Amino acid sequence: MADLILKDVAKSYGDVTVLSNINLDIKQGELIVFVGPSGCGKSTLLRMIAGLEGITGGKLTIDGRVVNDVPAAQRGIAMVFQSYALYPHMTVRDNMAFALQIAKKPRAEIDAAVDKAARILQLTPYLDRLPKALSGGQRQRVAIGRAIVRDPKVYLFDEPLSNLDAALRVATRIEIAQLKEQMPESTMIYVTHDQVEAMTLASRIVVLAGGGISQVGTPLELYEKPQNEFVAQFIGSPAMNLLAGEVVGTGAMTTISLASGGTVRAAIPTRDGDMGLKVNVGVRPEDMVPTEGEDHVYEGRVDIVEALGEVTLLYFETKGGAAPVIAKLPGIHADLRHKTLRLAADPKKIHLFSNGQSLIYR
């Protein structure tokens, strides 16, 4: 197992720069998840680490060795792709053993490695089956087992659950989490567009946007203390509400006058020079609660109600094509459609952004 360091790593295709100034230090035993919008370069970065894409600039180090020009087969990396890519004419055992057979490993060593991986992944009863006799989740486990038998320094996962249906995604996600528990020294890098996967699996999440890293942190750090508006709205579902306002009171508790009406207090310190500062007030839908008080973060008419059983999503009317304000209330509140509600939020749950950046980090 190994540490992995990216220093000023960049990737360009001709005059088009896809990634630049990627600086990341991944410790042995971490499960790092790359997330970001489509086209942000997360899969490209994974393929650069694997050696399937060349590195235009910077330095990639694995276990203290610079591997920029090292062929993929010699980097000590195993990759699990979005598609299972199993050989249909081979049994599960032969699929898992194939890489070791090509490397001319002793038969006893191959059998021991396959049997160990099969036990970890609960595939022992299926070793003599062909892939067509397996479910989608079982096929993905075989693909993971094929990586495990190689005992690599780093495991790479490129959206491995995206081809599964919703129920299988949940089951296989839990299996990957259990796999990591059984292999605590293994270093894993996982690419996904599903933030539930990211939040539940990751030791740390790397949010990619605009050709670089927007923020790195634990799942709860990104959720509770986003550094910028992009991360604030990307992490969490539904996305964080952003309401325009102006600072009208400074100190340990900041008072903001909202453009939509009303005032709100945030437990974020500001200076005297911040008086009049234009800000966006960020409030997560799940942190908004109905109130009758004057100190509220939003007041509006409910346009759409989505009753999901355990929670109810309220979408408020907006004008001019603006994104709707959303509140997420526990329980069932199907009778609130077309009613006008006033919503408050705990000052400790309110975020303030100026020019897109959080005031916490300035």
DSSP codes, 225-242? S-SBHHHHHHSSSSPPEE
- What is the reported pLDDT for 224? 95
Report residue 251 as tokens: 């100190």
Residue 132's SS3 state is helix
- What is the reported pLDDT for 321? 63
Burial class (CB in 10 A: 0-12, 13-18, 19+), 92: buried
Per the CB < 8 A criterion, the answer to whether 358 and 225 are in contact is yes
Helix (H) or strand (E) holding 277: none
- What is the reported pLDDT for 320? 65
Q: DSSP assignment of 151-188, as one string? A: --SEEEEESTTTTS-HHHHHHHHHHHHHHHHH-TT-EE
In degrees, rounded to 5, the angle at the alpha carbon of residue 220 between the alpha carbons of residues 194 and 226 is: 85
Averaged in consecutive runs of 10 residues, what is the pLDDT profile of the chain (362 residues)? 90 94 96 94 94 95 94 90 87 93 91 91 92 89 89 90 81 86 91 91 95 96 96 94 95 92 91 95 96 86 93 87 88 90 94 96 86
List of domains in the chain: 4-231 (3.40.50.300), 241-361 (2.40.50.140)
Neighbour tally for 295: CB within 10 Å: 14
Helix (H) or strand (E) holding 72: none
Using CA of residue 351, residue 354, residue 357, residue 358, what is the dihedral sign? negative
- What is the reported pLDDT for 276? 96
- What is the reported pLDDT for 1? 59
Across 234-269, b (16+ Cβ under 10 Å) vs e yields: bbbebebbbbebebeebeeebbbebebebebbbebe
CA pair distance 136, 120, nearest whole angstrom: 18
Q: Which region, left, alpha or beta, applies to residue 126 given φ > 0 means left and ψ of -120 to 50 means alpha?
A: alpha
